[in-house]
Amino acid sequence: MVLGSRPAVVRGLVALGAVALLATGAAPVHPAANRPGSAAPAKNAVATGYGGAVASVDADATAAGIEILRRGGNAVDAAVATAAALGVSEPYAAGIGGGGYFLHYSAKSHEVHAIDGRETAPRSADRRLFLEHGKPISFADAITSGLAVGAPGTLATWDRALRDWGSRSMGQVLEPAERLARRGFVVDDTFRRMTAVNAKRFSSFPDTARLFLPGGRPPAVGTVLKNPDLAATYAEVGRKGVGAFYRGAIGRDLVRAVRKPPARPADRRLVRPGRLTTADLAKYRALRQKPTHVRYRGRDVYGVAPAAAGGTTVGEALNILRHTDLSSLSEDRYLHRFIEAGRLAFADRGRWVGDPAFERVPTAGLLSPRYADSRACLIKDGRALTSPLAPGDPRHPKPCDGTRAPARAAARAAHEGRNTTHLTVADRWGDIVSYTFSIEQAGGSGITVPGRGFLLNNQLTDFSFAPANPAVHDPNLPGPGKRPRSSMAPTIVLKNGRPDFAIGSPGGATIITTVLQVLIGHVDRGLPLAKAIAAPRASQRNEVATELEPALYDSPLRARLERIGHRFVVNPANYFTLNPEIGAATGVQRLPDGRWLAAAEPVRLGGGSAMVVRPSPAH
């Protein structure tokens, strides 16, 4: 939790190993050619300077974005270059086999724009997509299947962003990633461990095993992993455009892998085929959408709209908190208020947010200050609320909305994989991109498209497999061409109409609480952006217990909050989250003197990488 500059904060940061990595102004380390036997590129969590900034989870990817900025490209060009490189070096989290949400600020028009590049279900899908004999199949069976693969939106997102706001061609911005895939990247400990936990299911697919399990084992730390198939795929898209993917040979190979998963014949794993067709792929469109917007502490906060739940849920929570002076509260009262705002906003998320092409999503109501007031009055300083909490009704807000609703009106959220990625970019003209994208679980479906070098998503598992509560309409059931609900929350904050900062995070449903916590930690508690990103976290998502990172769970704050009824668990380290971590944010910020600050996680997920075009010392 972001807890200000008091001793508890320092203890929490030390426990995360973060403090030593927060020195600002260090010159970024640019990886050279990733020669075999060389060490993995060094990462800096913070950089300040001029000419633009990039922050991502990976040094190679951040360097790709900086390369494009140095060549005269803008923030959109650099964002696509960074994302493409992440598809090489972070293939278990991102790639052209997935989708995401792209948020852009134009310094020329002073407007924020959004692109919905979320995956879509096949046209043949209906609410029974994950049912067999009337019952949901197991989640473990669903994630490693063609059934879970949606039509990917990543390349369509890049194409639309470049056409609308970019200054470089697709081939030009893919060049650094193509080179990285051909020459290879240095395997670090995080990549090796992520490979190890996926090794059993990767071994079911010969093409996946050949790429990520050289010699039948996870690659050793310090070795170089090359992906010539992906290099060739990027080169083909660069020459022919995204039509090669959505209407050409790449797409035909993709659909074949979905409909007849290329599993090892002798493997005992049941890998269900999917329903995606070449027509589904050809009909895919990345959608321009109006971003969400709320006012908070004199700032304009922009996010992405449904089917993403990030913008509405972060926005509602900010509205709930807006009448509380968070800067003056004690640590435990501050944490209490943050937890309760998340609990209330998530209760509404589960009931109301789905794909607006299929559902009547009351977006304006969810972001209404009047509705937030009707929910905020449920929060009492001396008593914790109890989850699952019933949702309110943003269409017809009533004072203390939710107090009389039946408990059964609360719906459990569908599982969301936490292995997503996020990048933030700014350029010398003042444009900003905040972009979150994913292939869902670590390693997605586990299926690599033969000869193409990229993993396929399993994003359709973000749908509810069956109604969470038969008594309440579930807006997140599958449907033909429908987009599953997402918690992605790329965020751009303006002050006096000019860029202040931009943030975002991976982490499944914890994305929302991470973005909210970083934002209020910086704005309300006065933490520098880098320290707000590094500080220990909590996540309440209308569950019985609030997840805490160890630094908070082991602090005296936990006992004080338990005395007023809060329940806590340590955020679990499991198959998809190798460490007890919540989120892994990145951000960029325009400093008062005109410099850019880039900030990334110092520790979580192995730490991120922040770079600027022309570094300058911190003042």
Active site residues: 420
Tokens of 297: 């502490």
Q: How far apart are CA 607 and CA 56, in angstroms?
A: 9
Q: How far apart are CA 399 and CA 606, in angstroms?
A: 46
Residue (of 422, 435, 506, 439) closest to 97 by Cα position: 439
Determine contact, residues 504/585, Cβ cutoff 8 Å: yes
CA pseudo-torsion sign 236, 239, 241, 243:
negative
Residue 35: CB partners within 8 Å, gap ≥ 6? Answer: 224
Q: Outline where DSSP puts E strands in 462-603.
A: 491-495, 498-504, 538-539, 546-548, 568-570, 586-590, 596-600
CB atoms within 10 A of CB 385: 19
- 399: preceding bond cis by omega (within 30 degrees): no
Q: How far apart are CA 607 and CA 437, in angstroms?
A: 18
Q: How far apart are CA 270 and CA 16, in angstroms?
A: 40
CB atoms within 10 A of CB 524: 23
Helix (H, G, I), strand (E, B) or coil at 109: coil
Q: Which residues pair with 287 in a beta bridge?
A: 116
Angle, nearest 10°, between helix axes 59-70 and 170-183? Answer: 140
Residue (of 176, 173, 206) closest to 32 by Cα position: 176
Determine contact, residues 46/529, Cβ cutoff 8 Å: no
Helix (H, G, I), strand (E, B) or coil at 438: strand
